[in-house]
Structure 1
Amino acid sequence: MGSIYKSLLIIKSPIKSFIGFTESSISLLKHCTNHRLITQGQVIHTHLYKLGISSHRHIAVKLLIMYLDFKKSSEVDQLLKDYNTFDMIVHNCLISANVNWANVDEARKLFDEMPQRNEVSWTALISGYLKCGRVDESMELFRRNPFQNVISWTAAISGLLSNGMRLESLELFLEMLRDGVWPNNVTFVSVVRACTEMEELALGVSVVSLVVKLGFEEDVSVCNSLITFSLRLGEMDMASAIFKRMGKRDVISWTAILDMYVEMGDLREARKVFDEMPERNEVSWSAMISRYTQKGYSKDAIELFRQMIENRINPNSSCLSSAINALANLKLLQPGKTIHAHVTKIGLANDVFISSSLIDLYGSCGSPNDGRLVFDTVQNKNVVCWNTLISAYSSNGQHEEAKKLFDQIAVKSIGSWNSMVTGYLENEQYDKVFEVFNDMLLSGQTPDISTLSSVLCACANLTSLQKGKDIHGKTFKLGFQHNVFVGTSLVDMYAKSGDIENSKRVFNKMTEKNEVSWTAMIQGLAENGYAEESLELFQQMEKTTCIKPNELILLAILFACSHCGLVDKGLHYFNLMETVYKIKPNERHYTCVVDMLSRSGRVREAEDLIKSMPCEPEVNAWAALLSGCKTYGEDEIAERTAATIQELAEQKSGGYVLLSNVYASAGKWREVLKTRKLMKERGLKKSGGCSWIEVRNELHLFYAQDASGNELNEICGVLEQLKYHMLVLYEHN
């Protein structure tokens, strides 16, 4: 604005040079047009009118362009009165304006009225027809055009491309070359885009050669299009080489190469590029923040979002959604509420993607009812909104609310069904998982990879082998047998159901294995007593893959060593955790080592290890030690351990239950009753035990002290008969 008023002062000052004054006025009018400053433009027009030079041809043309751009029809009509004779520039301005307004027929009328035309006239009308999708009329004009230079050829090529006629645009490009017309940078951008969309690698490489030959390899727009072409076809090295050769880069160049590393999942290199960027736009920031969130680096995403705000970059809806998702992952409710207030203030609260993220945030932070308030304010709810709220209620154990919402959805997507399945799975209601899955099949909805993985997880937790085999059959029918997630779920299901041979068979047939796949197989072998084989598979993974051992794999290895008496080997791996694998042992690792030492009679070492732990020992660690004391007659250590367990039991029922079980295994029933009485006095409750049995594909659950079963008398009768027969057999033997 300051430059405008300075210029106004200049044109109001005494005229020393008419040519200089005219040039300044024209420049100022052009500035007003480009920056949408119509009020200032009208002020300048008034002053020029008072000076009597507003009808000067060059000034009048600039005024006409300005008023046409702002669609000021009365001012345009007034200016046209000054042109009672033909003026080619004025006619071209009118044609271009009508083309921009999509009044192509009016533009054609003006074109036909012209006694003579230049290349601008022809090109403007050809482009106008192409913009309106009237390709045949456009090409008919193009063939008649006497000014077929690079500008008109480029207009036709890019116009065909914008109408989805990629092959035709490339054919026209080849025709242009045959006619001896050399392309410019705009031509190359359009041609490379056509090659990109058609995935024409060979032709694209030829175009690259021509780019180099004609000296456009330094043109920023051409190089940007070549980078996009390379990335779309998966030629990452080619894209990187083009980027490195560029003498000058703009924000588009940097963002394209940033996207490359982001899509490759190489966040370290992507961040390096991001930090080197001399200029960042909202796309650059959004790409990094969203990928950090997707990859689970939520803290990094939030920190980058904070920096973005500090740099006064306004986040778009995609970026805000990613930031909210990161907060949901970290269960940070208060910062999420702050962003919620901000999006409400700027009018984006109704954005369906942001709303879905907010619903997920409130659900993740245990406030699904707040998520419901967001849901109710969304005017155009999509299925994602519905599914997110269902998941919010399900994950918080409010299954009745989730079911009500689920039943209200007119057209249920696969995500709707998966939200219900996952909710029951997370709350360990495995019988409900099968219920929903069966309803889903009856509705005609085809399960996807997520559905099958969830149902297989339920099968694994219930050790329901037959159901698991049925799902395995469905994976073949649906073509998911080679999917890494389904394969991993099958490995885990078979292993937890005790069918280790089928578990190994599935694992060996997997064409792709990830970290979780190896973990499931190593853990499955260890827990089913195949300790040696588990260790061998671990060594194979280290030798043949780039996968680094994680916490669960090392826990499985320690478990295997414990249960096959390989104490020294187990200690060896335990000592390597921090020094080699860079993993800090947690409570479960220490418990496993304590169990391993206690089982082998090295009880004092086990006690010393518990005392030296950098974290609070689990109750199970003390239980393992107590069990070792009992086996090897270490009464002194046993007394200390039992006293410690009793101290730990002050706040939690788990310690008392463990102590009660230890007394029971030792036959000290008075101590058992004393412990249970103490639990009752302190208001501590033990969660009820649950057993289940599968009969004819139907799951029957039995809870401790539950007398509500319909066939309870018959079951008790059968148990009495079994007890009688067992006693008879015992006496007979």
Structure 2
Amino acid sequence: MNPALKSLFSTNPNNKNFKFYVEKCNHLLKSISSKGSVREGTLLHGHLLKMGISSERYVAVKLLIMYLNFRKPAEANEIVKKFNGFDAVVHNCMIDANIRWGNIEEARRLFDEMPERNEVSWTALISGFMKHGRVEESMWYFERNPFQSVVSWTAAISGLVQNRSSFEALKVFLRLLESETKPNEVTFTSVVKASLELGNFRFGMSIIGLIVKFGFENYLSVSNSLITLCLRMGEIDLARRIFDRMEQRDVVSWTAILDMYVEMGDLGEAQRIFDEMPERNVVSWCAIIARYSQKGYPKEALKLFRRMFEEGFKPNVSCLSSVLSALATLENLRAGQNIHAQILKTGIDGDIFIDSSLIDFYCKCRETKDGRMVFDSITEKTVVSWNCMVGGYSLNGQMEEGRDLFDKMPCRDNVTWSAIIAGYVENKEFDKVFELFNEMLLSGETPNSSTFSSLLCACASMASLENGRNLHGKLIKVGVQYDVFLGTALIDMYAKSGDIENSKLVFDRMPKRNEVSWTVMIQGLAESGFVEESLALFEEMKITSSIAPNELMLVSVLFACSHSGLINKGLQYFRSMEAVYGIKPKGRHYTCVVDMLSRSGRLYEAEEFINNMPFQPEANAFAALLSGCKTYKNEEIAERTAQKLCELAEKGSFLSAGYVLLSNIYASAGRWVDVSNIRKLMKEKGLKKSSGCSWVEVKNHVHFFHSEDGTHWKSPEVYEMLELLRFEMVQ
């Protein structure tokens, strides 16, 4: 038994201590009502009956509240009957309880039968309808409320924000100001949330002025919402100043400022902030783990997860989902299986977020069978779980299974369409990509950025300029053509389709560029033969932007130098990679240098460069040197390179193109026996020379033609036309 309750039972009240005794009873009633047990409450009620004070109004009201909190309507109704006539407080208690129980119609009935209502009655009904998503009815009562104090105004504003009617919430707030009612801290917190949801940062900034004017800048909830607002606006220094000025901070305050440093990529400062937190709970632990996982730091997330366990905290559903996401990124199957076992043990495997995370985890670890088992075990599947499984099949190239599941889906959203389209793009089934896209448009679903990115990637891979232009038109219509990701995809598509002018036009018009945008444009110019412009753009990037050169960008720069004969400049770039940019050259960088030297006839330097490489050269490096030997007819180096090629061939790491190149060198030197030996070796290894391929786009359909191939459905007509052209040329 509760010690305080036991002490009360042993107290013998008299005239001197009766007031103290009643206060003690009231305190116990309040305590038991909020966190006690039904048994203790019943015992106390019995004691109060015995002492003859249970019918006192202030005691009876607290007993009523206790039984309502215990969800004991029968006992509550018995207490109500003992009240002599109408009591507004009792009615308000009953209205509030029925709203909490979900009996909104009963709450309305109680409200309607009240002979007189006070501010609490009206506010309770306004909040109640808002909590149950019945916004119009709530606002009907709000407009008719005769007690429009800050409490009822705030109930309407916060309710509208909770129901994602933030624009209406701001309109009500402006009416509140016109009524000369002074807002309170809850009002301002709700209004800042509305500004955030709408992305109306100008309005949000004006709210800051009002907060200072009314003196609420030091209230905890207001300061927390202001920190979030400043972070969303990119006002990082202001957010930090608000945080530093706060006299009191809670988990929300610390987590918001923690988010800021994780978002900035400053993990050291984020960790320092986390370690400084005076008190950490499950929410704070789960928040930082989730942020690290979401921002691409899975190892750090897992380290924190282990620390969390060591300090005695148990993860919640959100935390487990974040950990599974981190393990999926690392493809750590065994650790994920252990987490799955813990989930089954604790009985939370029926949670939709956990199940979706498990499906995603298994699919990213290439275990789609296990992912399908989890999917099939879900009794009530949502579109999220369907999307995870369809996306999992697409990710693993199992397009037949993915399409089968896609066709069975009861409903689809743009994530579903994007997942299946991306799968077909990844598997180079481009005909199905555009077929599905047309189906998506006919279904009425609006493509998102991810869908457009996949489609533009397909156009770039096929060099399908017509389809790419059509997509560009749709992007202009939607108004997202200069989104940094879609803009980059457009640059790549135009460059790979041979329309470098439009590629440059898109790049020049982009208001914001990232590392990938610059890389794609530099690469596109280099591969399209505009080598001088490519190098000039690289230099411009170094001067005008804060973006540092990356590995792929430097491959393009070296490629440009190789194809423009700028050997010394290319070597200078290569040497500066590690010294200036801190990038250790990889095999492809070395291959570019070999190609650069070989193209200019500096074959001995190229051979020495290969011999001095700190790791095994790529096959393409030898192929580049062989190509130079063929051009400059250097059989001596070709012989030595051929020997290296044989060694690579034994390891299975040489390409058929290299054998063909070596065969051509021997043929040009008249060494037909060696040519025969090379061809025999290729036959033994099952290697074939890649046939020539060309394609043409007619009416948005791409037609592929291979050398001496008659599989195209119009091959007879094509060859007939070729014969006619040949005849005309001879004539």
Q: Deviations over 1:475-520 (max 9, x none)?
A: 4444443333333223223322333333323322333322222111
Amino acid at match of 1:661: L
Cα deviation for residue 201 of structure 1 reads: 4.3
Cα deviation for residue 271 of structure 1 reads: 5.1
Cα deviation for residue 621 of structure 1 reads: 1.2
Q: Deviations over 1:133-168 (max 9, x none)?
A: 56666776645xxxxxxxx93422323324537444
Cα contact 2:263–2:295 (8 A) shared by 1: no
Question: Are 1:674 and 2:670 an aligned pair?
Answer: no
Are residues 398 and 159 of structure 1, via their aligned partners in 2, closer, same or farther at CA, if it must alter by over 3 Å?
closer
Residue 698 of structure 2: aligned partner: 696
Are residues 671 and 460 of structure 1, via their aligned partners in 2, closer, same or farther at CA, if it must alter by over 3 Å?
farther
d(CA) in 2 for partners of 1:678 and 1:337?
47
Cα contact 2:189–2:225 (8 A) shared by 1: yes
249-258 or 548-557, larger mean C-alpha shift: 249-258
SS at match of 2:278: coil
Cα deviation for residue 538 of structure 1 reads: 0.3
Residue 408 of structure 1: aligned partner: 408
Unaligned runs of 5+ in 2: 100-105, 130-137, 161-167
Cα contact 2:360–2:388 (8 A) shared by 1: yes
Cα contact 2:95–2:111 (8 A) shared by 1: no
Cα deviation for residue 36 of structure 1 reads: 3.9
Cα deviation for residue 588 of structure 1 reads: 0.9
Are residues 51 and 656 of structure 1, via their aligned partners in 2, closer, same or farther at CA, if it must alter by over 3 Å?
same
Residue 297 of structure 2: aligned partner: 297
Q: Deviations over 1:348-404 (max 9, x none)?
A: 444444444433333333333333333323333344443443333333333332333
d(CA) in 2 for partners of 1:284 and 1:498?
52
Residue 492 of structure 2: aligned partner: 492
Residue 208 of structure 1: aligned partner: 211
d(CA) in 1 for partners of 2:92 and 2:18?
31
Are residues 40 and 669 of structure 1, via their aligned partners in 2, closer, same or farther at CA, if it must alter by over 3 Å?
farther
Q: Deviations over 1:290-349 (max 9, x none)?
A: 444444333334444444454454544444434333333333333333333444444544
d(CA) in 1 for partners of 2:578 and 2:588?
15
d(CA) in 1 for partners of 2:264 and 2:142?
42
Cα deviation for residue 664 of structure 1 reads: 2.2
d(CA) in 2 for partners of 1:471 and 1:443?
18
Cα deviation for residue 46 of structure 1 reads: 4.8
Cα contact 1:107–1:125 (8 A) shared by 2: no
Cα deviation for residue 578 of structure 1 reads: 2.0
Cα contact 1:258–1:284 (8 A) shared by 2: no
Are residues 63 and 637 of structure 1, via their aligned partners in 2, closer, same or farther at CA, if it must alter by over 3 Å?
same
Residue 330 of structure 1: aligned partner: 330
Residue 398 of structure 1: aligned partner: 398
d(CA) in 2 for partners of 1:186 and 1:653?
68
Cα contact 2:286–2:315 (8 A) shared by 1: yes
d(CA) in 1 for partners of 2:640 and 2:623?
12
687-696 or 568-577, larger mean C-alpha shift: 687-696
Amino acid at match of 1:153: S
Cα contact 2:359–2:388 (8 A) shared by 1: yes
Cα contact 1:95–1:110 (8 A) shared by 2: no
Cα deviation for residue 554 of structure 1 reads: 0.7
Cα deviation for residue 272 of structure 1 reads: 5.0
Are residues 60 and 469 of structure 1, via their aligned partners in 2, closer, same or farther at CA, if it must alter by over 3 Å?
closer
SS at match of 1:529: coil
d(CA) in 2 for partners of 1:690 and 1:568?
34
SS at match of 1:101: helix
Residue 149 of structure 1: aligned partner: none
SS at match of 1:617: coil
Cα contact 1:255–1:283 (8 A) shared by 2: no
Residue 555 of structure 1: aligned partner: 555
d(CA) in 1 for partners of 2:470 and 2:141?
62
TM-score normalised to structure 1 length:
0.81
Q: Number of matched residues?
A: 699
Question: Are 1:571 and 2:571 an aligned pair?
Answer: yes
Are residues 131 and 423 of structure 1, via their aligned partners in 2, closer, same or farther at CA, if it must alter by over 3 Å?
closer
Are residues 536 and 338 of structure 1, via their aligned partners in 2, closer, same or farther at CA, if it must alter by over 3 Å?
same
Cα deviation for residue 545 of structure 1 reads: 1.0
Unaligned runs of 5+ in 1: 114-120, 144-151
Cα contact 1:390–1:405 (8 A) shared by 2: yes
d(CA) in 2 for partners of 1:380 and 1:686?
52
d(CA) in 1 for partners of 2:554 and 2:172?
60
Are residues 558 and 275 of structure 1, via their aligned partners in 2, closer, same or farther at CA, if it must alter by over 3 Å?
farther
Cα contact 1:558–1:573 (8 A) shared by 2: yes
Cα deviation for residue 666 of structure 1 reads: 3.3
Are residues 66 and 491 of structure 1, via their aligned partners in 2, closer, same or farther at CA, if it must alter by over 3 Å?
closer
Cα deviation for residue 629 of structure 1 reads: 4.3
Cα contact 1:649–1:656 (8 A) shared by 2: no
d(CA) in 2 for partners of 1:318 and 1:217?
31
SS at match of 1:699: strand
Amino acid at match of 1:127: T
Cα deviation for residue 539 of structure 1 reads: 0.4
Question: Are 1:30 and 2:60 an aligned pair?
Answer: no
Q: Deviations over 1:5-49 (max 9, x none)?
A: 443554465769766665555444332222142223334445666
Cα deviation for residue 585 of structure 1 reads: 1.6
Residue 147 of structure 1: aligned partner: none
Cα contact 2:623–2:661 (8 A) shared by 1: no
Amino acid at match of 2:645: I
SS at match of 1:694: strand
Q: Deviations over 1:504-557 (max 9, x none)?
A: 233223333222221111112212222222111100011111111111111111
Cα contact 1:45–1:54 (8 A) shared by 2: yes
Cα contact 1:185–1:219 (8 A) shared by 2: yes
SS at match of 1:649: helix
Cα deviation for residue 669 of structure 1 reads: 4.6
Identity of aligned pairs, percent? 47
SS at match of 1:542: helix
Two-structure CA RMSD over aligned residues (Å): 4.1
Are residues 78 and 289 of structure 1, via their aligned partners in 2, closer, same or farther at CA, if it must alter by over 3 Å?
closer
Cα contact 1:663–1:672 (8 A) shared by 2: yes
Q: Deviations over 1:239-259 (max 9, x none)?
A: 433222111111122233344
Residue 127 of structure 2: aligned partner: 131
Cα deviation for residue 618 of structure 1 reads: 1.0
Cα contact 2:666–2:675 (8 A) shared by 1: no
531-540 or 199-208, larger mean C-alpha shift: 199-208
Amino acid at match of 2:508: N
Residue 132 of structure 2: aligned partner: none
Are residues 653 and 24 of structure 1, via their aligned partners in 2, closer, same or farther at CA, if it must alter by over 3 Å?
same
Amino acid at match of 1:69: N
Residue 116 of structure 1: aligned partner: none
Cα contact 1:129–1:135 (8 A) shared by 2: no
492-501 or 518-527, larger mean C-alpha shift: 492-501
Q: Deviations over 1:157-193 (max 9, x none)?
A: 323324537444554466465xxxx776556656766
Amino acid at match of 2:93: S
Are residues 92 and 537 of structure 1, via their aligned partners in 2, closer, same or farther at CA, if it must alter by over 3 Å?
same
Cα contact 1:375–1:389 (8 A) shared by 2: yes
SS at match of 2:573: helix
Residue 122 of structure 1: aligned partner: 118
Cα deviation for residue 75 of structure 1 reads: 4.5
Are residues 604 and 313 of structure 1, via their aligned partners in 2, closer, same or farther at CA, if it must alter by over 3 Å?
farther
Amino acid at match of 1:607: E
d(CA) in 1 for partners of 2:726 and 2:678?
29
Q: How does 1:432-443 map to 2 (within 5 A)?
A: 432-440=432-440
Residue 595 of structure 1: aligned partner: 595
38-47 or 712-721, larger mean C-alpha shift: 712-721
Amino acid at match of 1:359: I
Residue 532 of structure 2: aligned partner: 532
TM-score normalised to structure 2 length:
0.82
